[in-house]
Structure 1
Amino acid sequence: MYSDIAVGIFNALVGQFLTDLSTPARALIMNNNQILYDIYCRKSMEEEDRQVLSLEAQEKECKEYADKNGLKIRKIWRESYSAKAPGRKLFNQMMQELAEGKIQGILAWHPDRLSRNSVDGGLIIYHLDKGIIKDLVFPTYTFENTPQGKWMLNIQFGQSKYYVDMLSVNVKRGNRMKLENGWRPNMAPAGYLNQKEDKTIIADPDRFPIIQRAFREIIAGHSTVMEALNKLNNEWGYKSLMFKKRGGQPLSRSSIYHLLTNSFYCGIIQYDGKEYQGKHPKMLTIEEFDKLQIVLGQKGKPRQQVHSFPLTTIIRCGECGSMITAETKTKYYPKTKNTAVYTYYRCTKKNPKIKCSQPYIREEAIEEQIDQYLSKITIPEEFKDWALKYLDYVNEHEAKVEQLSYKNINQQIEDTREELRNLTRLRIREQIDDTLFEDEKKNIQKEIKRLEELLTETNRQADEWVELMDETFNFAYYAQLHFEFGEDPMKRYIFSKLGSNFLLKDKILALELKKEYFAFTPEYRKQIKPLGLDDQRLFMLQKNNLVPADLSWLPG
């Protein structure tokens, strides 16, 4: 009995002695009882750990502390992951080995290396309560495994969590202000560069123009997505931006689709479910971006709809002028016990001044009429290829004439600038007064500006002509095929591009074909003069390998 009392008193004295001891001395005594420690080092790349020691520095300090205090180290864990939420792989693995009894203590540089969230912090306190963790040691913080020590450690974990929460609030506030000012708060996408000095985004001079070129080739129908990707990587030499450990790679297949659907390129920043108007240089107009989404089979401006009707908001009623809408009807067939869904187009009848009498029309009936219009402008593949080849030939010859014109305009600009320099010399020599100098200077500068605008406009018109011709011939060849087999967005794009003034009356669709497409119709081809393939012209075509395979499509 007395021996049991003596043991109890001894244990109580040892417990009180351990409580009063400093951390180094306590660690030394516990080490004598063969407690095994693991060193845990953690640093994330996020804002919360920007000022924290590196993994190497943490490991070095922990090792020095262990050597100084005689702690027995079993293993070193190095983790590059944020602790603001549970789910760290190595931390969880270490806690599992603690629960299995492989170690009894943890050595870390600071308590916030172990936890910055309530779940992991609570788990550590719980393991201390259950005796699974015998000891926690920190070179920068003194911990005692007592009720008071655990209470103070819990406060330390709480402070770490509060710091992360407030940091998140401040970062979100800063991001919101930046977005409202028109700037994306994170890394700029391909084709752009982040300016460190003023925290803005500028066009990447190397990548911006070739990505823009790829976008416009897809929009115009000159290239498929994969063809544009091949040109970007293999012909135009695209390589991603270089960083310390990554970069310099060609654009991947998944990445180009991400670029093609990113509204940042048309000046709209999508962030946290909201849209912001950006101040960065636009690569595409909003209209071009919407057209690109249609080409990709997506809607340009997504709206929540139960059904997709490709022809609505384009056609007007020929009787009352209201818009044509669409709806679906489900019909049940008792004999076969099947149901079928039909789409009907009808007038909205929203004109209060006219009592509209127009009937419904089945979707198939109206699409059949559109197909008839498309069949009128559809051209054979041989003619399309020849026409584009011939246009390239014509453009090449016209370019030589235009080059001479550009040269003349540039010479006029240079002569006018020389006049301005001579005028300045006269003023310096005081051979003319200020009034005359300013008047003449304004006239000369006005003339220089006019010539520069003429040069720019000439270049623009030449480029637009070539692009229009390419787009027109490709549309005339592919439109009917794409309308027949394409999805609803593609059908809508083709129909809207076909012409204007779309009217539906008495179940008959009327429209005005665009001038460039009307030129392909049989009616127009009968009106124009024959091409006149005399021997000289035929020789010119043969010489340049431009004789068409299908002569029936030539005018006349």
Structure 2
Amino acid sequence: MPKGTTNRKKRDIQLANEADLIALQKLQDLTSSYRETAITSSERSINDLAEYFKAATSNAKQLLPTAKRRYAIYLRKSTDSEDKQVRSIDDQRKECLVLASNTVKTVIRDEDIFEEHASAKKSGNRPIFNEMLQGFRTGKYHGLISWSPDRLSRNMKEAGEVIEMVDEETIQDLHFRTYAFENNPNGKMMLGILFATSKQYSDKLSVDVKRGNTGNISEGKYNGSLKKGYYVDEATGNFMPDDYNWKLLRKAVDMRLYEGKNNPEIAQFLLDHKFTERKFENDSPRLVKFTKKMVGDFFADPFYLGLYKYGNLLTVLTDQYNFRPLISPDEFIALNADISKDFGKTSTIKSSKPQKLDYGLLRNKVICDYCSVPMQFQHQPITKGTKKGRYVISYYCRNRVCLRHNPQEQKNRGIKLSKSIRAKYVLAGIEWHLRHLTKQSTEAYRMYINGLEQRIASDKAVIKNKLSEATQQLKENERQYAKYQTFQVDDPEEYKKHHNGKLEHHKQLIEYYEEAVADNKAELAKLNVTLPTEKEFYELTKFKVLEFLQSTDITVLDTICNEFVSNLRAGHDSTPVIELKKPYDSMVDLGKIPLGWG
């Protein structure tokens, strides 16, 4: 038998199977009558779910596109002889602002410029620098700009701290006026040298892999894990809907949510309709033997609503490119019983897992008033009485050297302290402050409008990038479609032999990008709104306060608390210090009420 005969038979069988698949697909009408309404009328947004997973995942970080990152500028000049040749603070400021405008394409708020006159030779000598780093740890800032690396540090401890924060994506972007930093092992090694440290960098292959995965995740690209119903665009690494299989999965969602089908029935449906997967568009499809567990895993994956989750890293795919979500945020919540519970919703989907509360209220914002260490969010189920099935939420101090853990010292002081504080006392303190947001401050209104304008500008930048991409791709696919159309007419045999299916492929992409162009234009139109007047700002603030007072949805409470509260100090059964965020701190009688231990 000549060489290659067996391979030809395998290819013939494979081609025959693909032909059978095409024939089967043409017989199916899988248009969803639910998806468009679900997407457009979803009460929750992808960002709501992103906030949920950030709060429910330990050390979670959301990787943002550049246009949505908030940048800080750090300026420093000391009186040491080492700084005699360094640019003045004013010169550093001007050059860093130019860098922010021209290279980073962002506008820096005055409050995000940190200026310090202190030496960086020794660690722990710069309170303003420490305040700025804390802003990165809490997620307030994402990118850092400075005139040169030696403005940030001249000592090993703080230099290593900055590099570690870059490595962990706590600092997602780093720019210098005098040095082009690259976020990779070599770049961090060079930065360490410029920091004048003696730290040795021995980044292994695993670090390179981690760095590559992080880069792909931050851009919403394929990182080695296929997603059923999507294939990978070879040129960009983006996830594209695999038309027939994407529609099959959408039908699976409809069956579960709207037709009352269970997971085994859905698995059988996908098997009967020959669900396949492939990595790239031109790869041969592979049949997937769906099981009820695989169906459950599919429903639990936030990727399908547009939220890419890899370990503790998160990115919103629809911020990165024209990703087409399969389900709406509300549908995702409804498909997952435990998450429905966290959002205060009742799900018709039963969970086989023990009921639990994953969402953490005010995580990392409740500071122990006796030791200044963040308290641990915890919850215990109520097993008896009318509130059975609900939770007692509290914050526990894990610092063993804290006064809370020292009964003898408490006795000496004549006090008795609990190691934790109930959330109801924390919320009561916040409620008091929110009820007293009664001052009408024009300065607060201006700060609010300034922040709103910056958010709208960043949203517009993201959408304009997506619109530009969609417009270019639409033109390219129209060109390719016209080319193959002419080819099919001029030489039908050659087209069928070598390019069969290309017309259908480009037709699908034309429809995909036409929809993307229309959606992006509609989103841009929504952003062209009249900003609230000062009177409307006060009314909006009052509405949010009322929502806080009336809501039992823990995610709503957390969202409102995070908008108003910077952090708070928790005593025995009260919150002696609550710091409100700008601009709200200037609208209450007292932004701080110092009654605690200090």
Fold shared, TM-score > 0.5 on shorter chain: no
Larger Rg: 1
- Tell me the TM-score normalised to structure 1 length: 0.26
Bigger RCO (CA 8 Å, 6+ sep):
2
- Tell me the TM-score normalised to structure 2 length: 0.24
